[in-house]
Amino acid sequence: MDNQPGTESRERLQLQLGEQLNALISAVHALNVRAAAKFDPAIQPAAFHIVRWLYSYGPTNAAALAESTAMDRSSVSRLVKQLESLGYVNREASPKDGRGVVLSLTEDGQQKVMEALQEKESVYYERLSNWKDEELRDFIQMLRHFNGWNR
């Protein structure tokens, strides 16, 4: 089967896919580090991950934030304290029971996230600028399928 010219083994194709996924993950990580530095060079990229999560999904409590970002609670607590002291995160009593705490972005935090993400998005837009709409639709569909989101 694989001895014919122009054919590759399934194993080789999967290795090539792995190489490309690793390249994508590395590129995304590098862009996230750059976006974090643009947001505030004094914070760690992990703190920016928290900020981005709050920006995307809205207010939440520390436990849900830790679970959603795959960080331990003590790290989230430490990073949230730093973000709060820098004026990027608010901590308020939960409107549901008054005992819990809800974390949200301040107006300044939201504005700075938008600015930091614009640079990151511009890199993606530049890479896609020469793609035909059909190529982009196919790529999106393949990613949805790969990510298990094909419904």
Residue with tokens 């939440």: 60
Per-chain mean pLDDT for the chain: 91
CA dist., res. 31 & res. 51, Å (int): 15
In words, the CATH class of domain 10-146 is mainly alpha
Residue ranges covered by each domain of the chain: 10-146
Closest CA to 109 of 63, 40, 62: 40
Residues 1, 7: contact at Cβ < 8 Å? yes
Closest CA to 47 of 88, 15, 98: 88
Task: Give pLDDT tens digits for 47-76.
Answer: 999 999 999 999 999 999 999 999 999 999
Residues 136, 68: contact at Cβ < 8 Å? no
pLDDT for res 151: 61
What pTM value is reported for the model?
Answer: 0.77
Task: Give pLDDT tens digits for 31-41.
Answer: 999 999 999 99
Would you say residue 7 has pLDDT above 80?
no
Helix (H, G, I), strand (E, B) or coil at 73: helix
